[in-house]
Structure 1
Amino acid sequence: MVRSRTPTGFMMPEPSFRRVFGQVDLRRLESDPAVDLLADSPLDPRSGADRRLLGRLELLITGWGTPRIDARTLELLPNLRAIAHSAGTVRPVVDPIVYDRGIAVSSAASANAVPVAEFTLALITLAAKRAFWAADRVRDGAVDADLETAWPAVGIRGRTVGIVGASTIGRLVIDRLRGLDLDVLLHDPTVRPAEAAELGAQLLDLPELVARSEILSLHAPSLPSTRGMIDRTLIGSLRPGATLINTARGDLLDQEALVERLERGDLVALLDVASEEPLPRDSRLRGAPNTFLTPHIAGSIGTELGRLSAHAVDEAIAFAASGAFRCAIDQTTFALRA
C-alpha cells in the first residue's frame, strides 16, 4: 500500500521566509516522497487561490511574523494536523485552541537556543574579566585599566554564576559552564534538587541565588508568573560589583529599578533585550554607567539561521513520514516554557 503524501505549505511574511529558508532545505522538502509541498513560497490567506491551498494543508510551516493560529485562522485550515515552527517560542503563533483541536506542534527552539547559549557564555567570560569596562577605559585614553583596583573581583576562576530558569537555553549555558572552574547556582521552581545536581548546579530559591551571585544570567520564559520576577528588592540585593546578564526577555525585570541601581555605579548590566524594543532613544538605560547593550542579537542571525531552516524541514519530513514530530511541544511544555 502506497502511503499518501502530506499536503504541506508555509505561512509567514515573505521577508522572514527568504531570510530563513535556503534552497538546500527547500529542495529537501520538495523532493521528499512523504511530502506534498503545495507551493515553494508562503501562502497568503488574503489570496483566493492560496486560501484554496490552505484548505488542503495538513502540515503548516510557520515562522517569524506568522499570523496567530487561532479559531478564525483555523477556519481556513480545516485539515490541519501539525504546525512546524521555524523559530524559537511558539507563543506568538500558537493559540491554546490548537491543542484543543489535537494539532501537533513543534518548534526550532532547541536550534535557536544554541547561539543564545554561545552568546551568553561569551558575555559571562568577558564580564568576569571586566572586559567592557576595560574597553571603555581604553577608549577614554587610559594607559592602564587597573582592573584589580577598580573592582572587588576580576577573573573567572572561583566565581559564582546564578542561572535563573532551566529552560533549553539555561540548560545549555549550565552545560557550557561545566568546563570552567566556578560555582553554578540555579533557580527554577519546576526543577528538583537532584535534577539540578545532575545538571551541575545547586538549586536555590530566588532571593538567595540573587544575593549570592557574582554574575546573574536570566533564562526564564516570559509568563504571567515570571514577568517582573527580578523586582526592585532583588535588584537592590545584588552584591556590589555584580553583573546582570539578560538574553531572555526584557519584562523579566524591573527596568526602572535596574537603571537606578546602575546609576549608583556599583553594578554591571549586559542586556540583549529591553522592556521596550527597539529601545527608545531617550531611554535612561542608554546612558547608564557600566552598561553594555545589544539589539536582541543573541538568537539566530546570519549563518545561524540555517539551523532553524534545517530543523523545521527535518521536523516536517518526520511528521509527513510517521505522523509524529521528533521534538513535539506538548501542552505542559507550552504552558511552562514554549
Structure 2
Amino acid sequence: MPTAPTERFRPRAALAMKPDAAAAVLGPEALTALGAVCDLVPPPVLDDLTTDRARAALADVELLVTGWGCPPLDTAVLDSAPRLRAVVHTAGSVRGHITEACWERGIEVSSAAAANALPVAEYTVAMILLSGKRVLERARDYRATRRREEWLRAPTELGNYGRTVGILSASLIGRRVIELLRPYDLRVLLHDPYVCDEEAAALGVRPAALGELFARSDVVSVHTPLLPATRGLVSRELLCSMRRDSVLINTARGAVVDQDALTAVLREDRIRAVLDVTDPDALPPGHPLWECENVTITPHLAGSQGNELRRLADLAVGEVARWAAGDGFAHPVRRERLAFLA
C-alpha cells in the first residue's frame, strides 16, 4: 500500500521587534507568506521579552523572526525559550540582539544584510558618478545664477572617464559597489587586509595599502564596519593626503571617520564629501558640518526604505522556508565572522 506523504515541518515562530518595524517590513503579503511555512504566534509582536505574555509565547517557539528594536536574546530570555533553534533577522546587523548565549546554545542565525546592501551600493554608485561631474554643486550654482556654463570650458578634471575610485573594505556593500562599477571607465582600488591578491584579481580591483588608497583615489568610498579597531580609522592624516577636490563618501558608520578632522579639512576647502552617516547619526543642528558647502549630508537614507523593505521581507521568508525544509540558511551569520561584520 502507498504510504502517506510526510507532513512538512512547520516551526512555531514569533516576531520579535519594534511594532513599527514589523508594520513597515512585514506587510500583509509577507505575513501570509510566513504563515505558509511556519505557525506564527498571534500579534501583537514581541518588543519586550520579559513580560508574562512574551514568556508564554517563547515557551514553545522554535524560531524567532527579528527586526529593528529586537531586545537582546540573553541568557534569561533564552531560558524562557528552551526550544528555540534559529533566528531570522529582517535587517542587517545582528550585533544588537544576538548575544554570546545564542552561540553557546548552538542557535542558527540568518540576516538580511545581503538584501540591505543592495540599495546602499546603488546610492554609493550614484554619488560616485554624480560627484565626478559635480552635479549637485553645479545644479545649486545654476539655480542661484540662472545662467548656463560654457560647457566647452569645463575643467579637464571634470567627468568620470578614467577616474580612480578607492573602496575601503570588501564588505557585502563594498563588493556590490565593485560589481556595479564594472561597466564604467573607472580604475578601482581596494584596501582590505583580509582580501588576498588572488581574490582582489577575481573581484577586478587592484589591492592598495591604506595610505595609497587615499592618496591616489579621486573618490574614496568607506564600507568598513564600526569595530574597536576601525573607530577613527579615516584620520586627519589620511584626509589631508587626498587629492585636492577629491571626494570622501561614507555610507558605513560615522565614527569610522574622524569627524572633527573631516570638518577641519572640509572647511579648508581641500576635498568634498558625501555623508549618509555622521557621528552622532543625527547631526546636531549647530554642527559646523552644516555650514560647509562642499559636503552633501543625507539623513541615513541609503539603506532599505519604502518598497525596498519588501526585499528584506522576501529574503527573510525565503530563509524561514529553507530552514523549515531542512536546507539550511542561504545567508547564515557565522560566529567566527562577527569580528569582521557591521
Post-superposition offset of 1:236? 1.0
| Counterpart in the other structure of 1:37 | 40
% identical aligned pairs: 43
Looking at structure 1, the residues matched to 45 and 150 of structure 2 have their Cα atoms a distance apart, in angstroms, of 56
**Amino acid aligned to 1:42:** V
Post-superposition offset of 1:36? 2.0
| Counterpart in the other structure of 2:3 | none
Post-superposition offset of 1:91? 1.1
Looking at structure 2, the residues matched to 174 and 296 of structure 1 have their Cα atoms a distance apart, in angstroms, of 21
Post-superposition offset of 1:216? 0.5
Looking at structure 2, the residues matched to 2 and 50 of structure 1 have their Cα atoms a distance apart, in angstroms, of 28
| Counterpart in the other structure of 1:318 | 322
Q: Select the residue among 134, 142, 145 that pairs with 1:141.
A: 145
Where do 5+ consecutive residues of structure 1 fail to align? none
CA contact under 8 A between 1:116 and 1:169: conserved in structure 2? yes
Relative to the length of structure 1, the TM-score reads 0.95
Looking at structure 1, the residues matched to 152 and 226 of structure 2 have their Cα atoms a distance apart, in angstroms, of 37
List, as ranges, runs of 4+ consecutive aligned residues in structure 1 with deviation greater than 3 Å.
1-4, 144-152
| Counterpart in the other structure of 1:116 | 120
CA contact under 8 A between 1:153 and 1:241: conserved in structure 2? no
Post-superposition offset of 1:152? 6.5
Q: Select the residue among 4, 9, 16 that pairs with 2:14.
A: 9
Q: Select the residue among 130, 151, 169 that pairs with 2:173.
A: 169
**Amino acid aligned to 2:24:** R
Aligned residue pairs, count: 336
Q: Select the residue among 23, 30, 33 that pairs with 1:28.
A: 33
The 3 A distance-change label for structure 1 pair 100 and 146 is farther
Post-superposition offset of 1:42? 1.1
CA contact under 8 A between 1:134 and 1:147: conserved in structure 2? no
Looking at structure 1, the residues matched to 49 and 256 of structure 2 have their Cα atoms a distance apart, in angstroms, of 35
Matched, 1:230 2:234: yes
- What do you get for the CA RMSD once the two structures are aligned? 1.7
Post-superposition offset of 1:139? 2.8
CA contact under 8 A between 2:222 and 2:250: conserved in structure 1? yes
**Amino acid aligned to 2:10:** R
Which deviates more from structure 2 when the two are superposed, residues 220-229 or residues 133-142? 133-142
Post-superposition offset of 1:140? 2.1
Looking at structure 1, the residues matched to 165 and 270 of structure 2 have their Cα atoms a distance apart, in angstroms, of 18
Post-superposition offset of 1:146? 6.0
Matched, 1:86 2:94: no
CA contact under 8 A between 1:117 and 1:170: conserved in structure 2? yes
Looking at structure 2, the residues matched to 87 and 168 of structure 1 have their Cα atoms a distance apart, in angstroms, of 14
